[in-house]
Amino acid sequence: MDTKRVVVITGGASGIGQETALKFASKGDRVVVADYNEAGGQETVELIAKAGGEAAFIKVDVSKHEDVQALVEKTVEIFGRIDVMFNNAGIGGAGPVLDQNMDLYHRTIAINQHGVAYGIIEAGRKMKELGIKGVIINTASVFGFLASYGTFAYHATKGAVIMMSKSAALELAPYGIRVVAIAPGVVDTPIIQGFKDRGMLEGMKAKVMGGELTKPEAIAKSVYLLSLEEAEAITGSVVMVDQGYAGFK
């Protein structure tokens, strides 16, 4: 019997998602790289294949429920199961509260909040159906707790991810399905560019251990650890992976 886990990672074309895909694959898990960015997604699959791992790319727009439904179904068609769902796809904020571009506001909510909700719902349904005691991990942020300038919509979505994770963990516990949120701080990904443009980055870096941006591979390691059986007591929690950002003055 094949005991390899199957892991779905949204936003797997770059940044935290790509590094997490590489991490799981390096440990022998089979990975579905899900992203709207086909070139980046295929690049991640190729990197995994070159390292001797097994992966498949599935194009998805997480803001569309039907796309996320299809992602989960195609995953099971390809690999027969789904053990870990990492709802990681996201975009930056939509500007200061009084200067909202409403199209971008709605897009931010659709991707960062609704996309995670669809992932929780569809992965949870499939895990229950297959009798798999799986793990759903969602990317929140320290900015689900802390305010900053110019990211009004982003804050709203990450606060929502935190509470959706807690609520889903409560409801899915009877099926042995864990739900956990991670809260990265200032990570070296394209989303951080907005803070750099506003001259805020140096002040943010001063608040983290070591005074530098967190590398995406460090977040990937934490996600992998949370997926393991050894983390079986962790559910309904928000795990801070921020190098102390939220706790330092």
Q: Supply the pLDDT for residue 189.
A: 78
pLDDT tens digits for range 214-241: 899 999 999 999 999 999 999 999 999 9
104-137 residue pLDDT tens: 999 999 999 999 999 999 999 999 999 999 999 9
Provide the mean pLDDT of the chain: 93
Question: What is the rounded distance in angstroms from the CA atom of residue 227 to the CA atom of residue 167?
Answer: 19
**Cβ–Cβ < 8 Å for 135, 20:** no
Average pLDDT, integer, range 64-71: 98
36, 118, 149, 154: which one is catalytic?
Answer: 154
What are the structural domains of the chain? 6-241 (3.40.50.720)
**56 phi and psi, to 5 degrees?**
-140, 150
Distance of CA 247 to the CA centre of its chain: 22
* pLDDT of 1: 45
User: Residues 6 or more apart from 200 whose CB is under 8 A from it?
Assistant: 148, 149
Task: Give the strands of the sheet with 238-241, arranged side by side.
Answer: 54-59, 30-35, 6-10, 84-87, 135-139, 178-184, 238-241
Q: How many CB atoms are closer than 10 A to CB 130?
A: 13
How far apart (Å, rounded) are the C-alpha atoms in residues 25 and 226? 15
> Residue 111 in contact with residue 160, Cβ under 8 Å?
no
Tens digits of residue pLDDT in 6-26: 999 999 999 999 999 999 999
C-alpha distances in Å from residue 134, one per residue of 83, 103, 147, 169, 247: 5, 35, 33, 11, 31
% residues pLDDT > 70 (the chain): 92
Provide the pLDDT confidence category of residue 194 given band limits of 50, 70 and 90.
low
**What is the pLDDT, as a whole number, of residue 247?**
81
Cα distance between residue 220 and residue 19, in whole Å: 6
Residue 85 token pair: 């769902």
Is pLDDT above 90 for 139? Answer: yes
Active site residue 105: no
- At residue 75, the pLDDT reads 98
Among 19-23, 85-89, 150-154, 185-189, the least confident range: 185-189
**CB within 8 A of 155, min separation 6: which ones?**
93, 143, 144, 147, 148
Q: What distance in Å separates the CA atoms of residue 91 and residue 193, rounded to the nearest whole number?
A: 11
Asked whether the beta carbons of 183 and 238 are under 8 A apart, the reply is yes
CB of 233 closer than 8 Å to CB of 176:
no
| pLDDT (0 to 100) of residue 243 | 86
Task: Give 246's pLDDT tier (boundaries 50, 70, 90).
Answer: confident
Q: Which of 84-88, 102-106, 127-131, 147-151 has the lowest mean pLDDT?
A: 147-151
Tokens read off for 4: 């390899």
